[in-house]
Chain A
Amino acid sequence: DARVTQTPRHKVTEMGQEVTMRCQPILGHNTVFWYRQTMMQGLELLAYFRNRAPLDDSGMPKDRFSAEMPDATLATLKIQPSEPRDSAVYFCASTGTRDYEQYFGPGTRLTVT
């Protein structure tokens, strides 16, 4: 049963600290998305990659957020420095070349105090 995995599932950190979230897409999927979900803003696209190349990161605050795909099995989202307003659930999703369905991971619930 192929699934997207994300670590950590929960993260509590203090303002100013660096946060790194990791995602393992479904094997063979070539497109990876990072979303952020809050009660106020709903589900927002932060960035996405195809074949490990960034296609669109217009939804991401560039001064503190960065997203990378070091290899086809790992995507990372970093926040440095973190702020309380970054508290949210961060979802990773993946899809294949001919797929229209996005498969979401379980999410990382981030709390910045």
Chain B
Amino acid sequence: GQNIDQPTEMTATEGAIVQINCTYQTSGFNGLFWYQQHAGEAPTFLSYNVLDGLEEKGRFSSFLSRSKGYSYLLLKELQMKDSASYLCAVSPFSGGYNKLIFGAGTRLAVHP
């Protein structure tokens, strides 16, 4: 079966750093994705990891360990606009390259 776990909620302070963890167990693996979703809006792509290690993109970084079935999203210099849900998703091998299985999402609240 497919299982993706991430914390339900997190809070952090403006200007701080927050790490959102994601663990997964899937029948195959062809990449791990992070999406951001503001309340009432559509998900938007943040990052993609297919090899182990850290991918950095501005204030956001994403890490992957395939052997541990583990990823994290690191948000630095938090801003109020970063308050959103962060969805971890895995592309399993079966079903094709584009198919994604999403976790339930982590709601992040950034306070002044």
Give chain A's interface residues, CB within 8 Å of chain B.
Answer: 31, 33, 42-45, 48, 50, 55-56, 91, 95, 100-107
Contacts and interface: CB of A to CB of B under 8 A. Distances in A.
A96 to B, nearest CB: 10
B99 A56 contact: yes
B102 to A, nearest CB: 4
Interface residues of B, number: 21
A55 B42 contact: no
Contacts of B48: 100-101
Given A43-B87, A91-B42, A107-B42, A102 B100 contact: yes
Interface string B76-112: 0000000000010001000111111111110000000
B43 interface: yes
Given A42-B104, A100-B33, A56 B42 contact: no
A56 B95 contact: yes
9 contacts: A44-B102, A45-B99, A48-B98, A50-B98, A55-B96, A104-B42, A104-B43, A105-B42, A106-B41
Interface of B: 31, 33, 41-45, 48, 87, 91, 95-105
A95 B31 CA distance: 15
A48 B43 CA distance: 17
A42 B42 CA distance: 13
Contacts of A45: 99-102
A76 to B, nearest CB: 19
A50 B44 CA distance: 21
Nearest to B95: A56
Contacts of B103: 42
CB-CB nearest 8 A-B residue pairs: A104-B42, A43-B102, A101-B45, A42-B104, A100-B48, A104-B43, A31-B98, A56-B95
Contacts of B97: 100
B42 A50 contact: no
A55 to B, nearest CB: 6
